[in-house]
Amino acid sequence: MSNVVVIGSQWGDEGKGKIVDWLSSEADVVVRFQGGHNAGHTLVIDGITYKLRLLPSGIVRKDKISIIGNGVVIDPWALLEEIEEIKSKGVHINSNNLIISESANLILPFHKEMDEIREDAAGKAKIGTTRRGIGPAYEDKIGRRSIRVMDLLSEKNLEQRLETVLLHHNAIRKGLGKKIYLKEKLKKDLLKIAPEILKFSKPVWKEIDELKQKGKKILFEGAQGILLDVDHGTYPFVTSSNTVASAAATGSGCGPSTINYVLGITKAYTTRVGEGPFPTELKDKIGEELGNRGKEFGTVTSRKRRCGWFDGVLVRQTIKISGINGIALTKLDVLDELEEIKMCIGYEINGKKIDYLPAAVEDQLRVKPVYRKFQGWQSTTKGIKSFEELPSLAKTYVKELEKFIETKISSISTSPERNDTILIDDPFKN
């Protein structure tokens, strides 16, 4: 049986929700392995819309096991709110179909406040975070002072852990002229919700190993995109975790041999939310048209996305970094009405041509894209389910895109509808 990792090959928002939902119908288990409630997936099943933030996409399907791994940072109040929201739509959630790693780290109210304080103080140098406390929570994890799910088991242990983390945060808060955070109230609030969180808590590494032994198909669901990876993205305008495929192993407690296939979700153009370099960004009518036709607004934050031409250099780079085996190309239909379409096939910096995005942010901001132009097909691709039925110019664009990024396109999405997909290669059968 193949176990598949699904990740975004750009800056996120590539349409992972639809693809993950489509794949989760084949999988037995769906695992979230990084990120927090800053990244969302929208699923539409039988006319019902589900907006998921922390819960894996498998939760809305019967007889699927959903797992939140140790690599995820969890706002416990946001999670419980999301569970109730999904339950209200007729979905049954219990300890049999939802498992939370006992090692997962918690996002607490002071993390969110610290996120807001930093962004407000940064001015033009702000990162563009979602202000949900993700970064500060990961900092505490790396600093070995974090509160983990397992710490909710013991009031004595929780008190000690809170003393450690608040010693750090209150020193910073004092320096910034902010009120210190009171331990007793936070401890009381956490103990109140502890039973609701702990009933889902298990050693996830052990659960995954047992599921592997039973031959279950596992789908590892990434949040955000590779270009937001803390090591391989456009640093410092990145998230605070590793978003590459290999993070699925560390973020859930299984070895890399568990991963059989890496599917990269790739938009037929490029978008980005927040600040940071974006070589092919379009600040004109075409950019506005892509945003409007593609409905480019965040699932969680409703923030407007920046839009630009497809950047083949960046996607080819992320494919190599993350070991992507195949590409699911999304939103091809958004390009239907354009007279001319461009694809970035290189960069120029200081008069020199290069074939990769340099690591230094000052260089990333200065690179100029080198484009290849394509004639637009100016006819609808919406709902097409066969590659041969695509307009000839659309087929040319897809084939040349595939050739440039040096990776097979395994599927093409031609509308937001789940079934409007051209399936070329099934990841679970490789």
Peptide bond before 236: cis, by omega within 30 degrees of 0? yes
Tokens (6 digits) for 33: 């392995």
Which of 404, 425, 281, 267 has its CA nearest to residue 333? 267
CB atoms within 10 A of CB 30: 25
Q: Are 136 and 181 in contact (CB under 8 A)?
A: no
* Alpha-carbon gap, residue 2 to 215, rounded angstroms: 9
Tokens (6 digits) for 412: 């093409």
Output the DSSP codes for 196-245: HHHTTEE-HHHHHHHHHHTT--EEEEEEEEGGG-TTTSSTTSS-SS--ST
130: amino acid identity, one letter: T
Catalytic residue selected from 41, 111, 169, 232? 41
Q: In the annotation, is 41 catalytic?
A: yes
**Max CA distance (Å), the chain:** 68
Instruction: Spell out the long-range contacts of 301-307 with Cβ–Cβ below 8 A and sequence spacing 24 or more.
Output: 301/38, 301/130, 301/273, 303/273, 303/274, 305/13, 305/271, 305/272, 305/273, 306/271, 306/272, 306/273, 306/278, 306/281, 307/269, 307/270, 307/271, 307/281, 307/282
Which of 90, 129, 124 has its CA nearest to residue 113? 129
Q: Give the burial class of 121: count Cβ atoms within 10 A of its Cβ; 0-12 exposed, 13-18 middle, 19 or more buried.
A: exposed
**What is the set of active-site residues?**
13, 41
